[in-house]
Chains A and B, each alone.
Chain A
Amino acid sequence: MRHIISILLENEAGALSRVAGLFSARGYNIESLTVAPTEDPTLSRMTLVTSGPEAVVDQIRKQLNKLVDVVKLVDLMEGQRIEREMLLIKVRADNGGERDEIKRLADIFRGRIIDVTESAYTIELTGDGGKLDAFIAVIHPRRILEVVRSGVIGIARGEEIACRLSA
């Protein structure tokens, strides 16, 4: 099964490589990984998507928790959550019909055209992974020039605070 693990990590050189090294050394699967600083400059937020049998994911959580740089870890699959990913996609659009068609598709998916040239559009789209996949699927592969995805981030739904450094 797929798991989204949200981690508060010490914002220190080397912390990221400890997480990445753990996955390669133990042969765990990583689907995506994003890291950025938080409102507290001493902490980074990492969101990691992995999948595997329950016993393996259980080990992944335990091994991550064992890393001294991991301050807090929550598996977002344990509750209601919102997940988002951003897609930047550059597509060929060099005649009128194509340009209209792409604009229409972007609108349907609530994407935004954020850069335009005579022959290409760059579109920004956010949503869960399935929505991004669907958008990519409706564009003819020959038109796709480049695809950049951010990897998943997630947050618990409602008032629940899944992963915060308690005071």
Chain B
Amino acid sequence: MKRGGVVELTGAEIFVQCLQDEGVEYLFGYPGGAVLYIYDALYKQDQIRHILVRHEQGATHAADGYARSTGKPGVVLVTSGPGATNAVTGIATAYMDSVPLVVFTGQVMTHLIGDDAFQEVDAIGITRPCVKHSFMVKDVRELAVTIRRAFHVATTGRPGPVVVDIPKDITAQKTDYVFPADPTLRSYKPVTQWDPQGIRKASEILLEAKRPMVYTGGGVILGNGADELTALVRWLGAPCTNTLMGLGAFPASDPLFVGMLGMHGTYEANMAMHECDVLLAIGARFDDRVTGDLDKFCPHARIIHVDIDPASIQKNVAVEVAVIGDARGVMRDMLSALQASGRRLDKDALAHWWRQIGVWRARDCLRYDRDNVDVIKPQYVLEALHRLTRGDAFITSDVGQHQMWTAQFYHFDKPRRWINSGGLGTMGFGLPAAIGVQLAHPGDTVVCVTGEASIQMCIQELSTCKQYDLPIKIVNLNNRYMGMVRQWQEFFYQSRYSHSYMEALPDFVKLAESYGHTGLRIDRRGDVEAALKEALARRDRLVFLDFITDQTENVYPMIAAGAGHHEMHLSPDRELA
């Protein structure tokens, strides 16, 4: 077997060896014919922990949650055909939010490819529009270097999912294994340097600002730039807003933070966007949920944009200064340049700007009927959750109203604590994502805030939670409606609630119990806090909290799709003049 220090291994053994060499802790997967040699090789080792999910979508979301909460790549193994197609939703979810995943799909034997063989799909073709890159391994001698490259591409530059398709025969063939030292590809050169000119120009513009605004997104979190952002914003003394993906990059408890912006952002954040004279955008992609009507977007601002992906720049919004580079490094250099200038922003102008922001803040746009004791307001549950976890939990969510309320009411002070699907908006994400987060952070509190519709999309993963003893807390804000759909129907379709009522709901308490967990149903406002306390105290168990919430509550503020930032709707009792 051993010849002069070189070891001969099968493809399956090489696969395992490569993952070990990459430092992979967890592999989220599901077996099937095309990957049985690999499963056999996994059986013979104990370094990589394989997590057996109940559906391949769950594997990709779990790996995604692991990746978002740690910054390390999430790794997935699925079989050919239906295994690969089931994984697609999770791959697309990761792609839209730029999450580093490496997804291995089994493939039929090389000589059968293209023959409509049993469980054959063109996995590379099906995933092509939603991957950063993909590889098909055609020769066992290429396997190791391909895996190394897959990790390199997934984790560098603007991160993203990479698919590696491996035909079954490759995993049985043998070859010499040597660790491929060089993962680089001649055709792939992620940005590692940036233009000092751009930084200088940006600093000049910032120093002249009278109404500065800092708008940051997922890129600051992906690039681990939270500390640099905090230092920069504090030096500027400027208001800071985060996108849904950027929450936690700047501490929500800091007075300079004006909340999330965009469709369901705060009044003060959106008004400050509308009125600012200099906008510093970092690691954010001017998504349509953020900008609203582009013609009315930041009408008075000179815009500076920092992003690692040249294609994000000048894509939706024309900017005056663009710096293509890593958020963290660029912010560091920008702060040095500002400090070296010996100048500060105009103090009086800033004070005037903050007075204006204070007026907007005073609208208290997130106010809700807090004193109502007859029903459980979803916002009340989230405020209690925030208080009882001291704002220090990892929170995953699904998609809908509960997601927006979590973003508004759970004030994130740290990055990588808020794990949600923003770009694709994938219902079913929350629970499997929580699995990945809890595995990565075994001692920490992990809460999945969900809705009765979303949770049913990957409910089978309750079984995975049992198998691996994951003490996740599920906060189901059960309004018996696809609330977000209902809200749009109320506003834009004259309250015709077409197919958005959730009939025939399961008894979630019994359901949780049948999976071996604890379930609690809470339908009185007075019981909310005690139930949360009890659940959080059960550090050894998954607790499913089924909160029966107000069915008619809507998410405010709201900017209708296509409107401007200043055309926001507040809740009905405080509608803008």
* A interface residues (Cβ-Cβ under 8 A, vs B): 10, 13-14, 17-18, 21, 25, 55, 58-59, 62-63, 65-66, 68-71, 165
Known: A62-B311, A63-B311, A66-B311. A14 touches B136 (CB 8 A): yes
Q: Are A68 and B153 in contact (CB under 8 A)?
A: yes
Residues facing A in B136-164 (CB within 8 A) are 136, 153
For A17, the chain B residues whose CB sits under 8 A away are 125, 128
Chain B, residue nearest A15 (CB): B187
Shortest CB–CB separation between residue A43 and chain B, in angstroms? Answer: 10
Chain B, residue nearest A72 (CB): B187
* Docked pose: A69 CA to B314 CA in angstroms: 24
* Docked pose: A7 CA to B134 CA in angstroms: 20
Q: Are B187 and A59 in contact (CB under 8 A)?
A: no
Q: Is the interface of A mostly helix, strand, loop or mixed?
A: helix
Q: Are B185 and A68 in contact (CB under 8 A)?
A: yes
> Which of A10, A18, A25, A66 counts the most chain B CB atoms within 10 A?
A66
For B125, the chain A residues whose CB sits under 8 A away are 17
* B interface residues (Cβ-Cβ under 8 A, vs A): 124-125, 128-129, 132-134, 136, 153, 185-188, 309-311, 314-315
> Which of B125, B132, B136, B311 counts the most chain A CB atoms within 10 A?
B311
* Docked pose: A25 CA to B125 CA in angstroms: 13
Chain B, residue nearest A24 (CB): B129
* Docked pose: A62 CA to B185 CA in angstroms: 18
* Docked pose: A135 CA to B190 CA in angstroms: 47
Q: Are B310 and A13 in contact (CB under 8 A)?
A: no
Shortest CB–CB separation between residue B494 and chain A, in angstroms? Answer: 33
* Docked pose: A17 CA to B185 CA in angstroms: 19
For B129, the chain A residues whose CB sits under 8 A away are 21, 25
Shortest CB–CB separation between residue A25 and chain B, in angstroms? Answer: 5
* Docked pose: A18 CA to B314 CA in angstroms: 23
Q: Is the interface of B mostly helix, strand, loop or mixed?
A: mixed
Contacts beyond the supplied A14-B136, A65-B310: 16 A-B pairs with Cβ under 8 Å: A10-B187, A13-B136, A14-B124, A21-B128, A55-B314, A58-B314, A59-B315, A62-B310, A65-B311, A68-B132, A68-B133, A68-B153, A68-B185, A68-B187, A69-B133, A71-B186
Known: A17-B125, A58-B314. A71 touches B187 (CB 8 A): yes
* Docked pose: A70 CA to B129 CA in angstroms: 16
Q: Are A66 and B309 in contact (CB under 8 A)?
A: yes
For A69, the chain B residues whose CB sits under 8 A away are 133, 187
Shortest CB–CB separation between residue B246 and chain A, in angstroms? Answer: 22
Shortest CB–CB separation between residue B142 and chain A, in angstroms? Answer: 11
For A65, the chain B residues whose CB sits under 8 A away are 310-311
Closest 9 CB pairs of A and B: A62-B311, A68-B133, A71-B187, A68-B188, A25-B129, A62-B310, A21-B128, A63-B311, A66-B311
Shortest CB–CB separation between residue A58 and chain B, in angstroms? Answer: 7
For A55, the chain B residues whose CB sits under 8 A away are 314
* Docked pose: A71 CA to B187 CA in angstroms: 4
Shortest CB–CB separation between residue B27 and chain A, in angstroms? Answer: 24
For B315, the chain A residues whose CB sits under 8 A away are 59
* Docked pose: A69 CA to B309 CA in angstroms: 17
* Docked pose: A59 CA to B128 CA in angstroms: 19
For B124, the chain A residues whose CB sits under 8 A away are 14
A-B contact pairs, 18 of them (CB 8 A): A10-B187, A13-B136, A14-B128, A14-B136, A17-B128, A18-B128, A21-B128, A21-B129, A55-B314, A59-B315, A65-B311, A66-B309, A68-B153, A68-B185, A68-B187, A69-B133, A70-B187, A165-B186
Shortest CB–CB separation between residue A125 and chain B, in angstroms? Answer: 36
Shortest CB–CB separation between residue B320 and chain A, in angstroms? Answer: 15
For B185, the chain A residues whose CB sits under 8 A away are 68
Shortest CB–CB separation between residue B331 and chain A, in angstroms? Answer: 23
Chain B, residue nearest A26 (CB): B129
For B188, the chain A residues whose CB sits under 8 A away are 68
For A70, the chain B residues whose CB sits under 8 A away are 187
> Which of B132, B153, B188 counts the most chain A CB atoms within 10 A?
B188
For A63, the chain B residues whose CB sits under 8 A away are 311
Shortest CB–CB separation between residue A93 and chain B, in angstroms? Answer: 43
Shortest CB–CB separation between residue A75 and chain B, in angstroms? Answer: 14
* Docked pose: A89 CA to B311 CA in angstroms: 41
* Docked pose: A81 CA to B50 CA in angstroms: 56
* Docked pose: A52 CA to B556 CA in angstroms: 39
Chain A, residue nearest B153 (CB): A68
